[in-house]
Amino acid sequence: MLYLRLITMRLLKAVVVLFMIIIFNFVLIQLAPGDPAAILAGEAGATDEEFLRQLRERFGLDQPMYVQLWRYVSGIAMLDFGFSYRQGVPVLDLILARLPATLLLTGTAFVLSLALGIVAGSLAAARVKKPSGSIIMTLALLFYATPLFWVALMSVVLFSVYLDLLPAYGMYTVGAGHTGLALVLDVGKHLILPATTLALFFMAIYTRMTRASMLEASQQDFVKTARAKGLKNSVIQRRHILRNALLPIITLAGLQAGQMVGGAILTETVFAWPGIGRLMFEALQQRDYNLLLGIFFFSAALVIVFNIITDLVYGLADPRIKEGS
């Protein structure tokens, strides 16, 4: 009813925003010097004007910009993202082939960081001014301050090289031909290092935020009411303080979730994880504009989707928001 109408409205708005993002990205990429044809020709060692002209004609690059834009946008409306100049394969196929790997990695990291961060933050809030609380916060600060790629490299050195516990790169053991449960276990084993690496940074942020937010919530009058009821401290922490401290955490979680497509480039590169991040990096180096635009589109769409989900979660977490929406 009211909720459904809200979602419909948000989706309509999302389409408009997405459309604007497409145009913006398209125009922005035109500003970069050199077009794909010049680069392809350059790599092929051909400087022949005629060859360049033919290439441009084949890709439609000889058309005025608005025509190119129109072709592009009308293509997207039918889920046609064009061909990768480089690989000669439809962009959509390339992206869909890589998407599951990235979502697996970032999704795992997301859940991991959120769960551990909230737990660690709650513990730190309950143990404020105690040594155990300080230890948690020091660790959080350490993870927060250490560059991601460094943690990644060092964990490879430690767990793969020295201890030989976990695989250093890739998503499966190449050539092992696992199926079923064995495949799941194999992928899981490969997932541990990259997912943890990616999770640490956000976990640190969630920890700090949960703690600060809970300490603030614990100053509220209703906490005193809860104590006056004779409730146990642990119940007060969980039911009254944590629940009221969740809103800023949801905001942050929404932001992190939006980064799930494009936010793992570094991790994917270090661990040779066959995901979107690496695809994007390669596309960028090779001026594979169609592919790059396609990835931009997906990543923007994901941000918008998670924005809507975040708003819905707000409504669940705080009845006052649902009322006001």
Partner 1 sequence: MTDTQTPLLSLRHLSISLPKGADRALAVEDVSYDVFRGEILCVVGESGSGKSMAANAVMGLLPKGVYASGGEAIFDDQDLLKLSEHQHRTLRGLRIGMIFQEPMTALNPLMRVGDQIAEVFEAHGQLSGRERQQQALALLTEVGIPQPDKAIRAYPFQLSGGQRQRVMIAMALALEPELLIADEPTTALDVTTQAQILELIRDLQRRRGMAVMFITHDFGVVAEVANRVCVMRHGKIVELGEADEVLKHPRHDYTRALIEAIPSNVIPEARGAETDTALLEVKGLSKVFRSKGGLFKSAREVHALQDVSFSLVKGETIGIVGESGSGKSTLGRCVVRLERPDSGTLSLSGTDFMHLQGESLRRERHRVQMIFQDPYASLNPRHRVGYAIAQGPMANGMSKAQAFAKAKELLALVGLGGTDDRYPHEFSGGQRQRIGIARALAMEPELIVADEAVSALDVSIQAQILELLEELKQKLSLSLLFITHDLRVAAQICDRIIVMQHGRIVEQGPAREVFLAPREVYTRELLDAIPGREHELADA
- Which residues sit at the interface with partner 1, rule CB under 8 A? 2, 220-222, 224-232, 235, 239-240, 243-244, 317-320, 323-324
Q: Minimum distance between the CB of residue 89 and partner 1, rounded to whole angstroms?
A: 50
**Closer residue to partner 1 (CB): 171 or 217:** 217
**Closer residue to partner 1 (CB): 66 or 229:** 229
Give burial (CB, 10 Å; 0-12/13-18/19+) of 316: exposed
Q: Minimum distance between the CB of residue 19 and partner 1, rounded to whole angstroms?
A: 30
**Closer residue to partner 1 (CB): 245 or 283:** 245
**Closer residue to partner 1 (CB): 130 or 227:** 227
**Closer residue to partner 1 (CB): 215 or 284:** 215
Strand partners, 83: 90
CB contact at 8 A, 147 and 266: no
Residue 62 vs residues 66, 229, 257: alpha-carbon distances, Å: 11, 76, 39
Q: Minimum distance between the CB of residue 224 and partner 1, rounded to whole angstroms?
A: 6
CB contact at 8 A, 277 and 262: yes
- Where would I find the H helices in the chain? 2-30, 36-44, 49-59, 65-77, 91-126, 131-145, 148-155, 180-217, 221-228, 233-235, 243-258, 265-270, 276-285, 289-317, 319-324
**Closer residue to partner 1 (CB): 6 or 212:** 6
Q: Minimum distance between the CB of residue 127 and partner 1, rounded to whole angstroms?
A: 15
In one-letter notation, the amino acid at residue 95 is I
CB contact at 8 A, 61 and 38: no
**Closer residue to partner 1 (CB): 104 or 253:** 253
d(CA 78, CA 76): 5
d(CA 124, CA 210): 9
Half-sphere exposure of residue 38, counting CA atoms within 13 Å on the CB side? 6
In one-letter notation, the amino acid at residue 211 is R
d(CA 169, CA 150): 15
CB contact at 8 A, 209 and 121: yes
**Closer residue to partner 1 (CB): 178 or 232:** 232
